[in-house]
Structure 1
Amino acid sequence: MNVHYTAEWRDNKPLPECMMFMLQNEIMCDVTLRVGHYRTSIKAHKYMLSSRSDVFHTMFEGSLPEKGDIKIPDIEENTFRDILKYIYCDQISITNDNVKEILYAADKYMLAAVKRECETVLKQTAQSEHATKALQTGYQHSLLDLQRESLDYIEINTKECLLSEYALSLSRDCLGLILKSDYLNCTETDICHFIIKWGKHQCKLANLEPSGGNIREVLGTNLYMIRFQDVDMKFFSKEIVVSGLLTDDETVSIYQSHFGEVSKIFSNIPRYTVTQRKTITVYRYEQISQPMATTGIQSIIFLSDNDIWLKGVHIFLPYVQPTYGHQVAVSNNVNISIQILNDSNEEKIHHDQRITYGQNYDQVLEVKFSKPLHIHARRDYTIQMNGMCYQTYCGINCKESVTESESGVTVKFKDSSVGDNETNISTGQFAGLSFSV
């Protein structure tokens, strides 16, 4: 590019601004990139590309360095310019509109920080009826946290998610991730309805006749994750059997299961939604004492040795002086806020509640969340409580580790650096946790 510019572009400018000026004005560029469908010419600097991407470094300095123009047909010009801006000055704007394209480019050129930014944007989709789309993206790009969050949401909101327009485009592998779950919140008949629709859509994409045999082919081993014995028998007889999806032996085994014979072909483990599963409580304190100062944030860290679904937190209520003689015991109210943060400091639950306390109330209250939170094994989670502006009862001689006898789940507690009060692993707030397994 033949342009006229003055030396002032360097004066009192930060390095990223100077680097972008050199890129935009093609100053001392030593590589030409042919980008997108139209092979748009973009000039850049090998040393800058190599400084941020091992892929580019290998391309230019590896045992078989590329010569001449570099062809990049699979990334469009706007997306590649966004990536260049990140490489040159550490800035990138990722939105729901461009995240898929940016993620593809970041994955291709091993830009880990950009992938993390993409994952943060995509997690918003993971907590919506479009969670199946987020699951597919997470699987495709090996974003494990995104996969987990998507599956967590799908398990709680299965029927809504399977009705999403994106659900029919799930890959066979991602469909398998959903079907192997024992927590799906819908009937097995609902699952079969979706499986038939998904199978027909996949056959259409592959230019196949949407027959039972072809649907069986596209399903693969996912077929055996369906609990056919729990499907409504009228639907099973009129739709599944007639379709030819199952072999004669498989059909007979399902009918026999209704007369007490366990199927040796299909899974016999019934699905139970998280809300239906038994709630278990572990307490960390041995004794209750009073009073404890509660200025600021109460906080503690916990982790479980197994995956659990957290349903609530038990807190200590404000301390009330005993009433004597003819004094009338009164009740009072206080507004509290509880947050659960994961080990990346992302807020997973924010729960606000107005609580009532007084002389005739218990010392401990269970704060129940509106929806369960999937706690992944061996990962730190932080409980924070704010708004408790009075002295409260508190636990003393608290246990650092508690094993629940029925489930065998062990929950461990750690001190949190967030709290600015007396709560720690030995004493203070947070009497216990309620969860299901």
Structure 2
Amino acid sequence: MSDAWQHAESFSVTNVKMLDDDVLCDVTILAGTDKREMRCHRFILASRSPVFYTMFCGSLPETGVVEIPDVEADVFQQVIRYLYTNDIVITPESVMAIMYMANKYDIQQLTKCCQEYLEEKMSVENVCVILDQAVKFEEKELEKKCYLFIAENSTEVFATEGFQVLSRGTLETVLAKEQDNHKLKPEDIYIACAKWAKTQCLMESPSDITNAKLRAKLGNLVDMINFCKMTYDSFIDNVSYDNILTGDEKVRYLQDIRKETTKPKSAFVVERLLIVTSSWTYGGFQDGISFRVSDDVTLCGVALYLPCEIGQVTGSLTVLQGQTPVLSQTITLQYRPEIKYEIIIFSSKIPVRSGTIYSVRQTLLGTKTYRGENYRGKQCVQGVEIEFLELNFGQSDNGTRLERGQFHGLMFEK
């Protein structure tokens, strides 16, 4: 029985055999800036791409050697083999270059493959690589998706190796958006930027890294870090000891921290519900509500409804940042004639960062209490927007919802 390659069942197998062995190839293409030579078949290219069809079969067909300098040779070779075999390996590093060529030559199925890859494979580890590629190839919609993904996962993304190899321009944009979101502590931003600078210096000159070179590499990026929001101890532990900043810069930032910490704080209460009525019952189930703010503040307490009849309720109160508990304390609420709610001061104040979702939950037992109705909507108090949300983590299975139930309001300091 013959083992001739022409006997292969798959048309793609015989196609790529003719490509690899330069059998009847009738066009030479010089791809990339290095003008790497590739021999192909006009028939295959024209049958898979309307643009190649016009190039070879239009009114002014290409007849000689074709130069394609804007697609690097390795990517061009991958896409050409895809046209022959309908198979390609896409990676975070190559996806944007492949999609660029797929769009340029109107290879719609390959464009779709790239889009599906990006939707399915975008992760904390690769989003920075994808973002840099999106910026390079001016894929604006993809840029928006990457920036949104980073904003939603900033803590994890800033700690990745991908973050350390971001281009400087893209990093500046990421930091600018983080300034609007305020999700990260400034010390975490500084640590991530210092690692970025070290990685960039290592790539340029691995044997000659100095603090002066790290500072030069950071450049004006340090102006995008809100050092005054650090504590004195945090600045000393995370910034001062590594000696990247100059002595004058350290003094200036420490002075800013001192001014911030000695600034007088003003407390304010944001009421959630408009009407207070009765009554609300408890059976050991949980009530909860979530919220977010537009600027960094401190959460000091919560306004809880008191019993509407003689007696008391007692149980646990928990505050969460995302899904992480940051405060837990036991509370007891006593009946007080004519008093419908009481502000419970927390055992410790909680720093609240803008854009992050926080939750307050309570599980109580006891007599009936007052309840609230008619959500007031998003409010702006002392320049801070406060928006309440349905409970973000856990079940509010005792009945509290955005429009009604427990938690009359919250107490903040700014």
- Whose radius of gyration is greater, 1 or 2? 2
Q: TM-score, normalised by structure 1?
A: 0.45
Q: TM-score, normalised by structure 2?
A: 0.47
